[in-house]
Chain A
Amino acid sequence: MTRADTHQAIEAVWRIEAARVIAGVARMVGDVGLAEELAQDALLAALEQWPAEGVPRNPGAWLMTTAKRRAIDQIRRRERFEARMPDLLHPETAEDEFEAIGEDTIEDDLLRLIFTACHPALTAESRVALTLRVLGGLSTDEIARAFLVPGATAGQRISRAKKTLADARVPFELPTGADRTARLGSVLEVIYLIFNEGYSATAGDDWMRPALCEEAMRLGRVLAGLMPAEPEVHGLLALMEIQASRSAARTGPSGEPIVLLEQDRSRWDRLLITRGLAALSTAERLGGGTYTLQAAIAACHARAATAADTDWHRIAALYAELPPSPVVELNRAVAVSMADGPAAGLAVLDPLLEEPSLRGYHLLPTVRADFLLKLGRRDEARAELERAASMTRNERERALLLDRASGV
């Protein structure tokens, strides 16, 4: 193995083990920021020692032990350490104790790490950056490239996150009771934000951007392993896997977007669909939730061999179960029109014309124009397309809408 190969092998081990090492150390020092730095020290030690001495037989345990030794050194140096952690006066005993920690404890620590990195005291940007850093083992540079920001900005997001957690004295523990549901919501939101950032990548972007989708799915699977009884954890995983299954079919040869109903379904990823449908059935069995409903809608498309086979009645029914919002209602109107015809769709859509939050939302008149056209009400359809054109800020879209209007 060349030196460069060894270096890459060490980094691969790091990415696999980073979260567990950081979580284990964080339980000792009670501070995620400090734990991450101590774990980084262990990585540096590995990069120094392994190329010369060879990669140890159990590299994860080596990293964990090295980081924990450094944590003990750190704790020893702290003031009032004697009063707070008398056990550590006998480092051998203390080390044995730490080494003897079982898999259950490590999993609890990992879960604590996830909840702490996604703590509501942090801004959304900081939660995302810190999660990728401590749970994904991503470098600051990789995070910067993934989010199209300068390295210094990504570094600030992480250091600010660590400082906020330390200043707010956020304990390294699992939320309980009613707090737990809200905090889990924040964790799922962070994972889905990471996924959507990757999903919005376009051709020519740095490869780190689409890689965020895989990172988010990996985090979703890790969380599903740690919290197997939580329906929405499986629901979110199902939603991400089914959405990601369409990645290859979403764009044409020159990078132009292809809408779902026009996609070549033979290019959908069957492995992700199979996995997504399995996760969905687990989520539904456990009781579901909002992500589960969204996944169930995505699954209606995934199950249909052709666009014409889509079960629009079920999609319309699922939209009706989602927490109501004008955009959900707009989507329901489309599903109803596909299921029961344009007149039925229009009946759902028209009350939305009074909705203040949709005033200026060009998709509303665009969808309405589609319904009106199908009903043969051409003058009204043309007026709606012109209205939509006046609302969009995207020049290409405006030209397209005006073009359609003049063709009516």
Chain B
Amino acid sequence: MRYMLMHKVNDADPAAWSPTPEFLARMGGFMTEVTKAGVLLAAEGLRPSSEGAAVIRAKNGTQTVVDGPFAEAKEVIAGFAILQVRDHAEAVEWAQRFTALFDEIEIEVEVRKVADFG
């Protein structure tokens, strides 16, 4: 089964978007670990809403488009990873190892099961 890990950080906190070399080294190590464990299927990191973002809302078929930066949003998704795991507990274990990389900023990691249409 697949799980998606999404991490959220403060959109306006510069520290959250300019990682230190130490952090990048830790993150690189983690990516190597999940890759070699055979569980990583895909992962991407995102940029803050000031660098290219939009939100499209629809109500009764009428759309409104709001371009970034998002003034009202505090927490935004900063990246995601799709993992192939055996169960929920394994996804949470990997998510905890991932969360442990961030010791300099505040972060929230969301763990969600990917829909299976098989």
Determine whether the beta carbon of A221 is less than 8 Å from that of B38.
yes
Contact B38 A225 (CB under 8 A): yes
Bound Cα distance from A133 to B46, whole angstroms: 38
Q: CB of B67 within 8 A of chain A?
A: no
A222 to B37, CA, bound (A): 6
Check B41 against A211 for contact (C-beta < 8 Å).
no
Chain B residues near A12: list those with CB within 8 A: 86-87, 89-90, 92-93
The residue on A at minimum CB distance from B36 is A225
Q: B28 within 8 Å of A by Cβ?
A: no
B37 adjacent to A16 (CB under 8 Å): yes
Number of A-B contacts defined by CB within 8 Å = 54
Q: Which residues of A contact B (CB under 8 A)?
A: 5, 8-9, 11-13, 15-16, 107, 210-211, 214, 217-222, 225-226, 247-248, 267, 271, 275
Q: How far is the CA of A220 from the CA of B35 in the complex (A)?
A: 11
Give A248 to B1 CA distance when docked, in angstroms. 13
Which residue of A226, A247, A271 has the most chain B CB atoms within 10 A of its CB atom?
A: A271
Shortest B76–chain A CB gap in Å is 24
Which one of B1, B36, B41, B117 contacts A267 once the chains associate, using CB atoms below 8 Å? Answer: B117
Q: Is the CB of B39 within 8 A of A218?
A: yes
Residues of the A chain whose Cβ atoms lie less than 8 Å from the Cβ of B86? 12, 15, 211, 214
B residues with a Cβ closer than 8 A to A are: 1, 35-39, 41-42, 82, 84, 86-90, 92-94, 116-118
In whole angstroms, what is the CA distance A222 to B40 when docked? 11
Bound CA span A16–B42, Å: 19
**A8-B87, A8-B89, A12-B90 known; A271-B41 Cβ under 8 A:** yes
User: What is the bound-complex CA distance between A214 and B1, given in angstroms?
Assistant: 8
Query: What is the predominant secondary structure among interface residues of chain A facing chain B?
Result: helix
Q: How far is the CA of A16 from the CA of B96 in the complex (A)?
A: 13
Q: Is the CB of B38 within 8 A of A217?
A: yes
Q: How far is the CB of A238 from chain B (nearest CB, A)?
A: 14
A218 to B117, CA, bound (A): 21
Is B92 a contact of A219 with CB atoms below 8 Å? Answer: no
A-chain residues with CB within 8 Å of residue B118 when the two chains form the complex: 210, 247-248
Other CB < 8 Å A-B pairs besides A8-B89, A218-B84, 15 of them? A9-B92, A12-B89, A12-B92, A12-B93, A15-B86, A16-B94, A210-B118, A214-B86, A217-B84, A218-B38, A222-B38, A225-B35, A226-B36, A248-B117, A271-B82
